[in-house]
């Protein structure tokens, strides 16, 4: 199918970048600007525009309820009389999220009909744009098969703070890596005929106050850092762009003319359409004038209000035409206006599952491996931790994809270990609670599996008696929607009131859903010894209700910990699964593991130092317990095949091929936004990106702060060395060549990385070094390979705020080569000249 969809070639990106640098060589240049704002479209689109009534045009510019929903996030009706089809828009980014009512549901109403791929951060860890393209292809095919036309993905906002709730949904803290991956993924998605939507444009780098925070960023940082990925997405031909919730420089992103018109259209030549994030429109005339094309998911501002604005003359109709033209041009490009529309393929769940597994293995990042802890050898294994037995597939929020199936790590390890190896299990940390002891309640109450018939009301009024003061976590498991859950009052206080706004829907993917699919809510109270009044009222509603009330107490916590320690002692190896359940809509407040998990790791590693901690976390984690462990394997949210992939890496069937795409700080006080609320989360609604162009690893280098694990870090089961570094001029940029040698006795994956130092000729405060290129390489034991990594002309440039354009960073520049941003044993330097002439000398 890929051949049938006209795409803008990736070559275009290359040639533009070179043209920019080449122009810079002659000094004072003005790069060709596309006349993006009011570009004409093809004859078919112009004819349609002439035939559409104002009402019809407006109906194409906002979302509406879907009369035949396929479970997707958004819908835009078509105009049947003119052959304009309706559009269905489904979420990503880790697969296609479609949620059908009346089927098994997750916390956000998901149903198991799609392939849950590993989180994008795990994909990114493979440092492999070709893999990103294939990830996109799986999504593209599946989206088309599931009746969708537009995918609300990929997300390319950079990882700026370790607290941001959506770090798992995006790629990296590094602009270059993000550019490569977003472009390849979009080409993969769109090659299958599904329109991609790069999101969230721009500077939506946190969830805290995301609807209102006003991001202040200087022009150079904007262009050199966050916008790079969006620009690459446009160059790769993305059909749509989704505007962010936040403000940028005082104006909401979805009505920000500088972003939507000056940069996106005039500078980058984007000719697709821009939609809002969900409910992110704030105005009609202002937004349309600024360059917004479509309001989602409804028409509060772009429906009747837009018609009145046009009729009343406060906005010219040509602005409506402009938005419709942009939309129709994309539909035209994808063949969606043809009388015979592109056929929809069948799903290919096997291919999806195979790719899901390949990505999870390729991104698996081994952070530590001492005393030959991994790969696992003979001997019994104790699996510990709640996510050892409950597969942690996806993060929460709109990215949550419920898969066809997912095995637990415990089952996968048992299957891989085979008959001769005993694999035991201990919970260690309780997520879902234990039954309330019968004797604690008077009158007696069956708190497990209480059923309430449809149309009836059930209530309980009694006492809960404690022998001693205790910290009780009440855990409610309940069927049905959040507004139908029982009211539980302890001493008159309601434990699980309905959260306001999006609060009930934007929750974690793991801890809010019990293994049998019931929604889970928790509440912890410090209770005195003695009797406490417990009242519960439950309505059966239309469908009846099933609920359980459980508890986690001091005694159950101690018993779970003791059981884990016993299991750890009895086994030769321990694999401890630790989790952190992130979601859109909320940020973390610490990078420590949640709950009692740090204590669990301490206790288990004290009992058995041959402990591997597997992290199913969203982003960076502090590891005060690191030195006690044998190994640490970072798996993020590994998708539906995550368990088998984890087992394959633990046993050494696959080399851990991933490298960190974000720096892991040592603690909450040692990262780029630590200790300054103006940087994060903002003060009085304003947030300053005061770190400037020093995002991620660049900040650690500039401040000389030692991270826990640097950007690019990741161990292999074999060892590599690099030699013979040389640099030459090539295609407006550089060609960096070197030889990689697998010096160990196993086959394995190396990811050599090239970094570039500042230009002595630019009077700018530049990073100590930036990532300039990388290469993922599978090498057999003993194999040597000569490799050339291209450094794009753009990477040699900085943003000149005087000329509002890129400027080539001339002069002698250092080029480093190594295995992470902090492990750079080889370096050379190269003279970058205005003619782009460059000659390298090693030293």
Per-residue binding letters, 528-567, with ligand BGC (x by CB under 6 A): ----------------------------------------
For the CB of residue 616, give the shortest distance to ligand BGC in the complex, in Å.
22
Phi and psi angles of residue 605, each rounded to the nearest 5 degrees, phi first: -70, -30
For the CB of residue 217, give the shortest distance to ligand BGC in the complex, in Å.
20
| Residues forming a β-bridge with 807 | 798
- Smaller CB separation from ligand BGC, 584 or 587: 584
Q: Under DSSP, is residue 655 helix (H, G, I), strand (E, B) or coil?
A: coil
- What is the C-alpha separation between 399 and 584, in angstroms, rounded? 8
DSSP state of 486: P
Beta strands at 631-634 and 611-616: parallel, antiparallel or unpaired: parallel
For the CB of residue 255, give the shortest distance to ligand BGC in the complex, in Å.
17
Tell me if 240 contacts ligand BGC by CB under 6 A.
Answer: no
For the CB of residue 72, give the shortest distance to ligand BGC in the complex, in Å.
9
Contact call for residues 625 and 602 (beta carbons, < 8 A):
yes
Residue count, binding to ligand BGC (CB under 6 A): 8
Catalytic residue among 91, 271, 277, 655: 277
For the CB of residue 277, give the shortest distance to ligand BGC in the complex, in Å.
5
- Smaller CB separation from ligand BGC, 278 or 709: 278
Q: What is the DSSP string of 319-334?
A: HHHHHHHHHHHHHHHT
Q: What is the DSSP string of 784-804?
A: EEEEEEEE-GGGGEEEETTTT
For the CB of residue 199, give the shortest distance to ligand BGC in the complex, in Å.
5
- Smaller CB separation from ligand BGC, 253 or 426: 253
- Smaller CB separation from ligand BGC, 226 or 584: 584
For the CB of residue 279, give the shortest distance to ligand BGC in the complex, in Å.
8
For the CB of residue 586, give the shortest distance to ligand BGC in the complex, in Å.
12
Pick from 75, 230, 252, 278: which binds ligand BGC (CB under 6 A)? 278
- Smaller CB separation from ligand BGC, 398 or 742: 398
DSSP state of 158: -
For the CB of residue 67, give the shortest distance to ligand BGC in the complex, in Å.
19
CA 16 vs. chain centroid, Å, equals: 28
Residues 560-589 that bind ligand BGC (CB under 6 A): 584
For the CB of residue 582, give the shortest distance to ligand BGC in the complex, in Å.
14
DSSP state of 468: S
Q: Is 277 a catalytic residue?
A: yes
- Smaller CB separation from ligand BGC, 73 or 770: 73
Per-residue binding letters, 50-89, with ligand BGC (x by CB under 6 A): -----------------------x----------------
- Smaller CB separation from ligand BGC, 91 or 332: 91
Burial class (CB in 10 A: 0-12, 13-18, 19+), 700: buried
Pick from 149, 277, 332, 805: which binds ligand BGC (CB under 6 A)? 277
- Smaller CB separation from ligand BGC, 73 or 836: 73
Q: What is the DSSP string of 397-462?
A: GGG---BS----HHHHHHHHH-TTS-EEEE--S-SS-EEPPGGGEES----SSEEE-TT-EEEEEE
Q: What is the DSSP string of 290-303?
A: HT--BB-SS-TTTS
Collect all residues with Cβ–Cβ distance below 8 Å to 689 and sequence separation of at least 6.
160, 203, 215, 216, 217, 218, 221, 679
Phi and psi angles of residue 276, each rounded to the nearest 5 degrees, phi first: -80, 160
Pick from 62, 199, 333, 610: which binds ligand BGC (CB under 6 A)? 199
- Smaller CB separation from ligand BGC, 273 or 700: 273
- Count Cβ neighbours within 10 Å for each residue of 223-248 and write b for 16 or more, e otherwise: bbbbbbbbbbbbbbbbbbbbbbbbbb
Beta strands across the sheet bearing 784-791: 720-730, 733-742, 784-791
Per-residue binding letters, 584-613, with ligand BGC (x by CB under 6 A): x-----------------------------
- Smaller CB separation from ligand BGC, 73 or 177: 73
Residues 798-827 that bind ligand BGC (CB under 6 A): none
Cβ count near 613 (within 10 Å): 30
Pick from 13, 123, 131, 152: which binds ligand BGC (CB under 6 A)? 152
Per-residue binding letters, 413-432, with ligand BGC (x by CB under 6 A): --------------------
Helix axes 10-25, 175-191, angle to 10 degrees: 140
Contact call for residues 588 and 207 (beta carbons, < 8 A):
no
Pick from 205, 398, 716, 821: which binds ligand BGC (CB under 6 A)? 398
For the CB of residue 813, give the shortest distance to ligand BGC in the complex, in Å.
38
- Smaller CB separation from ligand BGC, 502 or 651: 502
Pick from 41, 79, 88, 91: which binds ligand BGC (CB under 6 A)? 91
- What is the C-alpha separation between 21 and 16, in angstroms, rounded? 9
Neighbouring C-alpha atoms within 13 Å toward the C-beta of 258: 13
* Cα-based angle 223, 200, 395 (whole degrees, multiple of 5): 125
Cβ count near 781 (within 10 Å): 12
DSSP state of 344: P
- Give the residue carrying structure tokens 């995006």: 170
Per-residue binding letters, 6-45, with ligand BGC (x by CB under 6 A): ----------------------------------------
Residues that bind ligand BGC (CB under 6 A): 73, 91, 152, 199, 277-278, 398, 584
Residues annotated as catalytic (active site), given as ranges: 277
């Amino acid at each position: 199918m890929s051949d049938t969809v006209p795409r803008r070639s990736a070559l275009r990106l290359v040639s533009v970048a070179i043209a920019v640098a080449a122009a810079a060589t002659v000094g004072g240049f003005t790069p060709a600007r596309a006349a993006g704002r009011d570009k004409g479209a093809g004859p078919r689109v112009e004819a349609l525009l002439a035939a559409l009534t104002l009402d019809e045009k407006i109906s194409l510019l906002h979302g509406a309820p879907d009369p035949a929903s396929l479970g997707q996030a958004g819908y835009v009706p078509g105009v049947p009389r003119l052959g304009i089809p309706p559009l269905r828009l489904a979420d990503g980014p880790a697969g296609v999220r479609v949620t059908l009512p009346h089927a098994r549901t997750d916390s956000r109403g998901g149903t198991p009909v799609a392939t849950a791929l590993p989180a994008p951060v795990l994909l990114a860890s493979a440092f492999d744009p070709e893999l990103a393209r294939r990830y996109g292809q799986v999504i593209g095919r599946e989206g088309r098969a599931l009746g969708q036309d537009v995918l609300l993905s990929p997300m390319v906002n950079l990882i700026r703070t370790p607290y941001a709730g959506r770090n798992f949904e995006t790629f990296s803290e590094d602009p270059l890596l993000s550019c490569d991956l977003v472009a390849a993924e979009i080409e993969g998605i769109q090659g299958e005929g599904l329109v991609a939507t790069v999101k969230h444009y721009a500077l939506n780098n946190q969830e805290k106050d995301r609807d209102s925070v006003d991001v202040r960023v200087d022009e150079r940082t904007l262009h050199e850092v966050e916008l790079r990925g969006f620009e690459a997405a446009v160059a790769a031909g993305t059909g749509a762009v989704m505007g962010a919730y936040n403000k940028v420089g005082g104006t909401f992103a979805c009505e920000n003319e500088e972003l939507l018109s000056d940069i996106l259209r005039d500078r980058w030549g984007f000719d697709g359409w821009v939609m809002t994030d969900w409910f992110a429109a704030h105005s009609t005339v202002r937004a349309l004038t600024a360059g917004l094309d479509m309001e989602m998911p409804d028409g509060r501002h772009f429906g009747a209000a837009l018609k009145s604005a046009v009729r009343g003359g406060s906005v010219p109709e040509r602005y409506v035409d402009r938005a419709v033209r942009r939309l129709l041009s994309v539909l035209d490009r994808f063949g969606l206006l043809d009388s015979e529309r592109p056929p929809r393929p069948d799903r290919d769940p096997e291919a999806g599952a195979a790719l899901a597994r390949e990505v999870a293995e390729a991104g698996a990042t081994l952070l530590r491996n001492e005393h030959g802890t991994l790969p696992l050898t003979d001997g019994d294994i104790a699996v510990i931790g709640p996510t050892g037995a409950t597969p942690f597939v996806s993060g929460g929020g709109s990215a949550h994809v419920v898969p066809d199936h997912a095995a637990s790590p415990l089952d996968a390890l048992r299957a891989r270990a085979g008959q001769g190896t005993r694999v035991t299990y201990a919970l260690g940390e309780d997520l879902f609670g234990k039954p309330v002891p019968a004797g604690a309640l008077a009158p007696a109450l069956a708190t497990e599996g209480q059923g309430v018939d449809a149309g009836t009301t059930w209530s309980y009024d009694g006492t809960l008696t404690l022998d001693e003061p205790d910290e009780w976590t009440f855990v409610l498991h309940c069927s049905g929607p959040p507004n139908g859950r029982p009211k539980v009052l302890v001493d008159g206080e309601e434990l699980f009131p309905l959260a306001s706004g999006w609060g009930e829907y934007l929750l974690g993917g793991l801890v809010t859903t019990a293994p049998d699919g019931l929604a889970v809510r928790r509440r912890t109270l410090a209770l005195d010894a003695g009797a406490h009044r417990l009242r519960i009222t439950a309505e059966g509603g239309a469908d009846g209700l099933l609920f359980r009330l459980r508890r986690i107490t001091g005694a159950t916590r101690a018993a779970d910990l003791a059981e884990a320690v016993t299991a750890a002692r009895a086994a030769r190896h321990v694999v401890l699964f630790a989790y952190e359940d992130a979601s859109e809509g909320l940020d973390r407040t610490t990078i420590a593991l949640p709950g009692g998990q740090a204590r669990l790791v301490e206790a288990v590693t004290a009992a058995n130092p041959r402990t591997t901690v597997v992290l199913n976390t969203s982003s960076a984690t502090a590891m005060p317990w690191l030195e006690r462990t044998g190994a640490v394997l970072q798996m993020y949210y590994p998708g539906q095949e995550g368990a088998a992939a984890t087992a394959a890496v633990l046993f050494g069937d696959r080399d851990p091929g991933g490298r960190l795409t974000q720096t892991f700080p040592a603690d909450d006080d040692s990262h780029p936004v630590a200790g300054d609320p103006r940087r994060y989360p903002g003060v009085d609604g304003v947030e300053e990106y005061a770190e400037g162009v020093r995002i991620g690893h660049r900040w650690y280098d500039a401040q000389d702060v030692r991270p826990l694990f640097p950007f690019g870090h990741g161990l292999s089961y074999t060892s590599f060395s690099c030699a013979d570094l040389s640099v030459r001029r090539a295609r407006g940029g550089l060609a960096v060549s070197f030889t990689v040698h697998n010096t160990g006795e196993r086959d394995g994956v190396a990811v050599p990385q090239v970094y570039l130092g500042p230009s002595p000729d630019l009077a700018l405060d530049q990073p100590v070094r930036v990532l300039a290129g990388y290469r993922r390489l599978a090498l057999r034991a003993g194999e040597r390979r000569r490799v050339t990594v291209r450094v794009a002309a753009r990477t040699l440039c900085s943003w000149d705020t005087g000329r509002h354009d890129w400027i080539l960073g001339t002069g002698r520049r250092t080029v480093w080569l190594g295995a992470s941003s902090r492990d750079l044993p080889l370096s050379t330097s190269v003279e970058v000249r205005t003619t782009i002439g460059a000659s390298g000398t090693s030293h």
